[in-house]
Structure 1
Amino acid sequence: MAQSVKDYLTTVFGTNTSRIAVVGRTKPVVASEQPGGTNELLLLREGDQRVTIESNSPELLMEFQSGDAPLKPIEIYTTPQNSNPDDIVINVAGSKEVFSTWFLELKDDNGKVKKFGPYIEDKVIISRKLILQNQKQGNFNVKMTGTTLTGKTVVKDATVYILPYVAPKVQESIRFSVIYEFNESKSIAIYDKYLTEIVTPKIPIGGTVLIKGYTDIIGEESYSKNLSLARANDVKSIIEKSLAKSGRNDVKFEVYGSGEDESKAPFENKYPEERFYNRTVVIDILPAQ
């Protein structure tokens, strides 16, 4: 199994064969199944049937980009979900079954009336700017007048307060993650080096670091909760020590442990690979506000 991975690295990526040493073992160095264990042995044994790769280069732990691009962290940008957030959506559910046409009248606090329509659709989109025009904001009485299919007039009204749309500030964050061995809350040496040499230098002055720990579904829920928090605090401790060596104390930390909560887990838990990657701590680095 290990040799097949080596062949892949040397054939596909052209890695010099002398740089890769292969070792075959009946169990990993840090095995999931422990002597004397009796619970969930099937899941534990599935997790031990794997190939691990160890390296003294922390750069290899960063996300690889295709082509000639260098190794780099994952960059996440938060953007508005609405394609045109300036729009106001008016819903008149079932209007096609009830009305032949309908229209709107919007009256502001000064008594000025703006008319929109007639419409036949269930949903109408009106620009916020078109409603406010020169006003900054204000109360509006909205009156909907519809003509039914039988010729009857129906009037409904309501009061709304409309503000101008302000685009949210796009916040850039950088995300990293580290993986822990089964039932371990201390990172392996290469991850210590990774957090110190790669992650910490990316933290801006006055930035915030969100650290979230997770586990797989093996074990008691309360134990997993504590384990995930211990993993997150382990990462915090390593980063804090690295910052302190640089004379920095300007960074804010937020630490969370989600345990084996599958609604928050990065991956599912059906396969051993998914459970392996759920034994993780995710680090989000946010700039100063």
Structure 2
Amino acid sequence: MSSTENHSLLDSKSIVERYHPGIRLLGAGDESFVFTDDVKVYKIFHTDFSYYERIGRQIADRFVGLKHLYDVKCEVLDGHTVFIYDYERSRSYSGEMEEELIETLVEFASCGVVSIDIKPSNFRITEKGLKFIDYGHDLKPFSESEFINMVLNAFLCIRYWADPQFIKMSQITRYNWDKEKTKGFIEFFNKAYGRFMENSGSHIHPPFREPNNLWIESVVTRFSADWTKVYCLSDMSDELYISPIHNVEDIKGKDILIITRELDHPPELLDKMRESVRSGSRVLLIARNPFFHGDFLNTGT
């Protein structure tokens, strides 16, 4: 561990220990350090604090009462996001346990979430059985394509759990669908998907949304006052927490901020903006930049 990483570790431990004394290091990763006081696990993120806070707020109470997923809570300690869940004595996963893996997959999917980092080291065996332990950047909104990938990785865990190159092997298998490595996968997938369909609707939660464009919120914060009305004209539920509107006439207020994917706006919107400017109001428009995919530009009037 480099001196820079060690400094970050000491800082992270100091922050957590200030609120939860008596902790020791459990592990470290690219995004976080993990500590425990033998009662709880504390995963403190050392980057992108607001991103992980958004993730944490969405998974808080989402996994309550589940057999294989921990009930994760989120705290912000001295500006750092910390995920907290129960600590249990455990041992490494060493293959097999097909039924419990399927149950884990179904729990994820039933909660509207997938993990794109299903691998042997992210499972532990406790007295209560199989537990998934990695909650962070790799949690994504449920989609059928990601569900298939998640199930495939779980299937590979059963036989190839000891492969030191598991991640690379699973990535290659996802693209070439090696017949030998995927033998039996169809049956495994059908079990998982059938169980998921049986449990569909058993857990009702708000949609899980990946906060890809948090900088938009910083723009909103920077240019907004307490009386600013913020509107979203496009369905951007995968990027924002602002519900879309479908009728320009619903836009009201003297200080308006509009977010949209499109630059081709209806005449009614332009009329609305002209009226607002004539009356001394302020309008800020944030729209997707058509020349740079995924980026946004903003214009003010």
TM-score by length of 1: 0.25
TM-score by length of 2: 0.24
Normalized per residue, which structure has more helix? Answer: 2
Structure scoring higher RCO (CA < 8 A, sep ≥ 6) equals: 1
Larger radius of gyration: 1
